[in-house]
Amino acid sequence: MPPKPSGLLKKSVPSLKDVRKKASTKQPLPVSERLKRLFNSLCAQIDGGHFTNAVKTCDKILRLDPKDKDALQAKLFLLLQIEQYSAALTLLDSLGSSSEGAFEKAYSLYRLQRESEASQILNDIKQSNVDDRGVLHLEAQLSYRQGSYHAAFDLYNQLLDTADPQTEEHSDILTNLQASQRHLDFINTDYLRVLDQLPMSVTNSLETSQPPVHPTTSLLPLANAPSAEEKMTKPKLKKVRTRRVPAGVVPGVTPAPDPERWLKRTERSTFVQARSKRRGGGGGGATQGMVESGGASGAGGQSRSGGGNTKGKKKK
């Protein structure tokens, strides 16, 4: 067998310790490169409709650069999309600027049913920008919610004149315009027509009756209420618990259960009586036809004495 060549060197396999050492010595990415990757992920998440994950990506970007305007604007848009209006208000308050994000703040207040604050912000916006369609839409919705159907009707007519008939906005405006028109018709004509159809007695009672009085709290129940000392000294009466009757049991009709049903069968009195009867009956039957006689005793003695040898033999 030829000797192995000594010139060939063995390849050393790197150990796990060496791999970890190389990984630990790897330099981290610069902030600019990390921001670039995070923005690429953010765009992909927004395009795919993954708004909740996109908000988390915005938070990662803002941790690296807290004043990034694009990340702040994207986060505000995403919070409005996922209907997190309280978080959107918190973000807007952190910006500090009163003019920046004013419309988004008014919209968030409207969705949180804080109409008075939203109306105040809208009035400030209209002083600087009157023809903004978003402001007109929000003002019409606020007027409709607050019961100003005539103002909402006029605003929707103004928006309908400048809307493209082929867009979704046009159909939404028509729907809201019809709802405002129905409310106006009910207030102006339908309500009065229904009142005219009522009997005269009902109409007179409605006109002469006073408005309902709001209930007021009386002091008499408080005066008659027991004091704390009386509650402490007065013993509490225990409520008597009603007896529960099993299903299918009629009191007074259904026979009472056996009191010995919890005992073993061999310990019950009925078992002992039946056993004594069986023993007494067996003894009487054995002694009833027995007659003592010599022949019988002799025969019995003979059978006992010769039982082992004469078994099966007949007497002649």
Structural domain that includes position 51: 29-97
Mean pLDDT to the nearest integer, 280-287 = 49
Residues 38 and 83 in one domain: yes
Q: Which two tokens stand for residue 8?
A: 């060939």
Domain boundary among 172, 198, 224: 198
Query: Does residue 64 lie within any of the structural domains?
Result: yes
Query: Does residue 215 lie within any of the structural domains?
Result: no
Name the pTM for this structure.
0.54
Number of domains in the chain: 2
Residue found under tokens 């509490």:
236
The residue count of the chain comes to: 316
Query: Does residue 90 lie within any of the structural domains?
Result: yes
User: In the predicted model, is pLDDT for residue 200 greater than 90?
Assistant: no
User: In the predicted model, is pLDDT for residue 124 greater than 80?
Assistant: yes
Q: Lowest-confidence range among 29-33, 71-75, 82-86? A: 29-33
Residues 192 and 138 in one domain: yes
Which CA distances in Å does 117 have to 94, 105, 161, 173, 201?
18, 10, 29, 24, 45
Query: Does residue 2 lie within any of the structural domains?
Result: no
First to last CA, the chain: 113
pLDDT tens digits, one per residue of 159-189? 999 888 899 999 999 999 999 999 888 888 8
Report how far Cα 243 is from the mean position of its chain's Cα atoms.
38
CATH label of the domain that carries residue 55: 1.25.40.10
- The angle subtended at Cα 193 by Cα 190 and Cα 197, nearest 5°, is 140
Query: Does residue 286 lie within any of the structural domains?
Result: no
293 — pLDDT class (breaks 50, 70, 90)? very low
Query: Does residue 141 lie within any of the structural domains?
Result: yes
Domain boundary among 148, 180, 198: 198
Query: Does residue 186 lie within any of the structural domains?
Result: yes
Q: Are 106 and 129 spatial neighbours (Cβ–Cβ below 8 Å)?
A: no
Q: Give burial (CB, 10 Å; 0-12/13-18/19+) of 66.
A: exposed
pLDDT tens digits, one per residue of 15-24? 766 666 665 6
Query: Does residue 233 lie within any of the structural domains?
Result: no
